[in-house]
Amino acid sequence: MKNAIFLTLALLLINLEINAQSESNSDNTLNYDHGFSAEVFNQGGYGFGIGGLIGKNLGNKTKANYSMGIYTDVIMGDSPIISPRVKFILNHSGILGIGVNFANNYRSGENDFRITPEVNFSLFGIVNLYLGYSFNVNNNAFKDLSEYRIGVNINFIKNNRR
């Protein structure tokens, strides 16, 4: 749990440092959007997640957008579950898309690793409403977590448009 919290804080600090740097030499930088992401969801228990993300064309109304984020979730089950997670999203024309989550749910020394394909309804990659179905990989499923995951994700991004 401490490692997951430390990783999330480190990513947020790196993001703040990147935002604070001047863009005086734009030829040597990657042209990606980056920022902070917050999420609320239900997966048999209510949960919330925070993380950092990078992507391309987030907020663009005419092009497809995609992003990758690293999150830390807290799920309120029988007892709290901590879940470090990686998420990939691709939205066609900024409205309808697909995604996948790789989450390692942790509680009291036990792990429940899940892969969750998702369908996204998006507002140009800034706000996403999603529905997913998770597959338990390690056959150690927590009984209080559902296979279905529904939630809302809001991305606070810095666009690198040139």
CA-CA distances (angstroms) from residue 18 to 13, 32, 70, 117, 127? Answer: 9, 12, 16, 31, 23
Residue 132 is predicted with a pLDDT of 96
Lowest mean pLDDT among 45-49, 108-112, 123-127: 123-127
List C-alpha distances in Å: 131 to 46, 91, 126: 14, 14, 16
* pTM (whole model) above 0.85: no
**Domain segments of the chain as ranges:** 2-20+32-158
Helix (H, G, I), strand (E, B) or coil at 43: coil
Mean predicted lDDT score pLDDT of the chain: 82
Q: Using CB atoms within 10 Å of the CB of residue 27, give its burial: 0 to 12 exposed, 13 to 18 middle, 19+ buried.
A: exposed
* Residues in Cβ contact with 2 at an 8 Å cutoff, skipping those fewer than 6 apart: none
The fold adopted by the segment(s) 2-20+32-158 is Porin (2.40.160)
pLDDT tens per residue across span 80-118: 999 999 999 888 877 888 999 999 999 988 999 999 999
- pLDDT tens, residue by residue, 57-73: 877 777 788 889 999 99
What's the Cα-to-Cα distance from 90 to each of 51, 64, 65, 107, 110, rounded to whole Å? 18, 7, 6, 31, 32
